[in-house]
């Protein structure tokens, strides 16, 4: 009996041990783990979906396949600051042009007086023998250098006032084009010389992008049109007023581009002087609509300036409505509309009312003097376009 009781007690003890160790052994069995997992997941379907998604993302990441993420939502840019910059830049451009015209006229008058006095003092003091001896004393290199300078001076004097004025603009555009080819300046060029309403720097590029071209063909085309029409626009407005219109048109056209990009959500960068050049072209064509124009490669084809302006506006309007991305059609339209508006109304509203500013500047430069206002004069742009 004692042995039997001991055997029964031992059997119960082993049964309890086997009951305690069975779950642990089953936890090590992958088959059981999968079954238990399926049972638990069947009771909680939400967790199943979550785990399945996590397993899919983990396996995709481990396999090296990028998981597609939803595109970030870009907030619509605010245009209040660029609008204020446009108004302020335009006002400063015309104010500086009025002061520059005053200083230019004053300098020309003083130069004429100095030349007259020097001619009177030089009469009879020197003869051709003096200059002949001076020339003979020069070396061959010095003579060639003087001849080269003389040829450059003759070429410069053969240019019109408008061509002389736009030469500086062309040189500045060429310098910016060279900067685009410097790798270390790429980041700064993208930041300051491309206009984009989604960029953090939005105001300064509105002016700088008007002198920026990345393509040589783009720059040559814009500068060629500006060179062709420079004589007419400068004779119409004067060089100071022309510079103010050109700079203002570049900023205004960029502001129109900002507005269209923000409205359509197509936030991409732009650059080039096309907006300012379109303002010059539109001003000439609207002021002289019957002037004959032609194509450089097709000289036999001629058309009027008014027809050319209408065709350009129609093309840019179609490009804007159809979403063409070859050019910034909104900037083209903004520049053209600004040019037409200025010769029709802007000259009367802005340039003819510059007299108080010129008088204030004259009083600051010459305190106590009461004379005529040197804001008007021949070739100074005081005549301007008439209506």
pLDDT digits 0-9 by tens, 184-194 = 999 999 999 99
Is 111 inside a domain boundary?
Answer: no
* Phi, psi dihedral angles at 143 (to 5 degrees): -65, -45
CA distances to 49, 60, 292 from 56, in Å:
10, 6, 70
User: Is pLDDT above 50 for 336?
Assistant: yes
Task: Please report the pLDDT score of residue 383 as a whole number.
Answer: 47
Task: Please report the pLDDT score of residue 17 as a whole number.
Answer: 46
Catalytic annotation, residues: 274, 332
Mean pLDDT over residues 249-278, rounded? 91
Lowest model confidence (mean pLDDT) among 80-84, 177-181, 260-264:
260-264
Q: Which of 257, 250, 239, 293 is nearest to 274 (CA)?
A: 250
Could you tell me the pLDDT band of residue 52, with boundaries at 50, 70 and 90?
very low
Task: Please report the pLDDT score of residue 319 as a whole number.
Answer: 87
Percent above pLDDT 70 for the chain:
71
Local structure of residue 185 (DSSP, 8 states): G
Beta carbons of 384 and 347 less than 8 angstroms apart: yes
Residue 201: how many other CB atoms lie within 10 Å: 14
Full residue range of the structural domain in which residue 354 is found: 77-104+160-364
Instruction: Look at the block and give the residue holding tokens 């060629």.
Output: 224
Q: For the chain, what's the residue count?
A: 387
d(CA 116, CA 231): 29
Residue range 195-208, pLDDT digits in tens? 999 888 889 999 99
Task: Please report the pLDDT score of residue 279 as a whole number.
Answer: 94
Does an H or E element contain 359, and which? helix 355-365
Does an H or E element contain 298, and which? strand 298-304
Lowest model confidence (mean pLDDT) among 69-83, 131-145, 201-215, 320-334:
69-83
Is 24 inside a domain boundary?
Answer: no
Is 258 inside a domain boundary?
Answer: yes
d(CA 324, CA 317): 10
Is 52 inside a domain boundary?
Answer: no
Is 292 inside a domain boundary?
Answer: yes
Q: Which of 282, 284, 307, 283 is nearest to 294 (CA)?
A: 307
Domains of the chain: total: 1
Q: Find all residues with CB under 8 Å of 174, minimum gap 6, and list them.
A: 219
Beta carbons of 172 and 249 less than 8 angstroms apart: no
Does an H or E element contain 220, and which? helix 216-237
Task: Please report the pLDDT score of residue 379 as a whole number.
Answer: 42
CATH number for 313: 1.20.1540.10
Mean pLDDT over residues 35-47, rounded? 42
CA-based angle 175:229:352, to the nearest 5? Answer: 100
User: Is pLDDT above 60 for 3?
Assistant: no
Is 72 inside a domain boundary?
Answer: no
């Amino acid at each position: 009996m004692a042995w039997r009781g001991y055997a029964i007690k031992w059997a119960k003890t082993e049964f309890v041990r086997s009951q305690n160790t069975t779950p642990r052994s089953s936890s090590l069995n992958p088959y059981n783990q999968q079954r238990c997992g399926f049972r638990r997941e069947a009771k909680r379907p939400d967790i199943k979906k979550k785990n399945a998604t996590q397993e899919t993302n983990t396996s995709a990441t481990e396999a090296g396949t990028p998981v597609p993420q939803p595109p970030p939502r870009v907030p619509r840019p605010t245009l209040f600051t660029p609008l204020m910059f446009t108004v302020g830049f335009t006002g400063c451009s015309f104010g500086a042009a009025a002061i520059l015209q005053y200083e230019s006229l004053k300098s020309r008058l003083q130069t004429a007086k100095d030349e007259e006095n020097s001619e009177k003092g030089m009469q009879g003091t020197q003869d051709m023998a003096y200059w002949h001896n001076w020339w003979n004393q020069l070396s061959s290199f010095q003579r060639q250098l003087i001849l080269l300078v003389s040829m450059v001076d003759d070429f410069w004097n053969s240019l019109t006032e408008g061509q002389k004025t736009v030469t500086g603009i062309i040189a500045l555009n060429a310098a910016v084009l060279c900067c685009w080819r410097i790798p270390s300046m790429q980041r700064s060029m993208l930041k300051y010389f491309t206009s984009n309403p989604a960029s953090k720097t939005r105001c300064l590029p509105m002016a700088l992008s008007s002198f920026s071209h990345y393509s040589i063909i783009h720059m040559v085309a814009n500068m060629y049109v500006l060179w062709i029409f420079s004589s007419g626009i400068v004779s119409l407005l004067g060089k100071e007023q022309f510079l103010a219109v050109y700079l203002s048109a570049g900023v205004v056209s960029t502001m129109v581009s900002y507005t269209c990009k923000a409205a359509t959500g197509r936030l991409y960068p732009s650059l080039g002087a096309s907006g300012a050049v379109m303002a010059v072209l539109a001003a000439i064509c609207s002021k002289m609509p019957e002037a004959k124009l032609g194509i450089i490669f097709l000289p036999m084809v001629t058309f009027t300036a008014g027809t050319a302006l209408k065709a350009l506006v129609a093309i840019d309007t179609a490009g804007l409505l159809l979403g063409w991305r070859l050019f910034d059609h909104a900037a083209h339209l903004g520049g053209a509309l600004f040019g037409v508006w200025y010769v029709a109304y802007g000259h009367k509203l802005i340039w003819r009312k510059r007299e108080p500013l010129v008088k204030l500047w004259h009083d600051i430069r010459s305190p106590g003097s009461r004379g005529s206002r040197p804001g008007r004069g021949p070739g100074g742009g005081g005549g301007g376009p008439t209506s």
